[in-house]
Chain A
Amino acid sequence: MAVTDDQVAALRAWLRAGTDAEASDAERQFLTLSKTSGLDEIGALVCGAFAAVARRRFSPTWTSADIVRFVAEFRSSSAEAAELLSPSAAENQLRRVLGEKQAIVPPEEDRARAQLLLLAALAVTLGPQELDQVLAEGRTLADSFVRDAP
């Protein structure tokens, strides 16, 4: 099943939430989707959007130090960030979506956290049109994944 407009809208709402009210609204959108079995592809959408925004930021080339510094920049910005985001999972996921094979696959929860939090962190500097482009690219990647999945 392909990614839906509602799923993209919910993710955009969460990424752009600037107030508690907006964050609550985004949460409600997600919960509504979960109650109607509309959340199935959200993991693929988050992963796709994360890959798209990471490639936008770390192109055309990158170094290990770039990855290390960016993850540390986010994690050092608050106690919440440091606690929520595993640094090794974050670096692993960034390297992976940038095209470097990784021998280790972090636990699923760590991957999910890394993708969503880093997507949000990378998106803070995007304008509305750029964010739409990232979400559109992410949707395309997610649809390919869902279509090709066994």
Chain B
Amino acid sequence: MTEMIAVHDLTYQIGPKKLLEQISFSAKSGEVLAIVGPNGAGKSTLLRMLSGEARPSEGTILIGGEKLEAVPQRQLAARRAVMLQNSRVAFPFTGFEVVRLGAEGVGIGLSRRDRDQLALAALASADAAEFAERSFLTLSGGEQQRVSFARALAQLAAGQTLEPDQILMLDEPIASLDIRHQLALLEHARALAQSGRVLVIVVLHDLALAHSFADRTLVLQDGKLATIATTDAPLSRDLIEKIFEVSIVAEHCHGTPWRPLGGAQRSAAIGNHARVSASA
């Protein structure tokens, strides 16, 4: 269990507006860390900081114990893979070619054959093997998401020999997926974390899913870290109502809301959590 990411007093400012303010947390490999919050709370912005795509205005980010900006780009790509929402591919690349791109830059020391095999294995494990020969452009949103997930998996697999401890960053990875594939993707991420060498950071909209799959959940509100919920100390009903500006009217069949669920119960959670209505 290595400390994979350590964020200290991170602030991101564009003009006078602070998109992120004074955020600090750390996470170890083997963990699943969810980031939740209302629209515009800064979830995706935080992920952009963590992936190195944008630089914080103040504060530091350590990734694998090193300052993020000091890690050479290729090494960084071996250390963490990122799956963004709505990947748009400009040309008719096949699903296989898209996934193989994950293995190519990082897996420069691997043979061509090995990279191809990594890509095929990643496609199969993301249940996307049937899209290998189809143009990415002709796939539906959910199908594209499965291929993009496979690409991130291929990148991790290719980088594994260089960087034994890795981070998988997912930005709303299940937004367009059907329930079966939502669960399959999150179970897969969970299993990667349980191997002990991968930290999974996932931005989610779904509080119940976040709670059942993540060890800890960062709750963002207006760019600030409102609280960190854990499996032992879940989000209180009051806090949810306050942060998300809703009143919860649903009754939950598993007793207290946001209780951790076993694998078999997870699918049931999807149906139960969402009966909330916006307060006027």
A and B from one complex: no
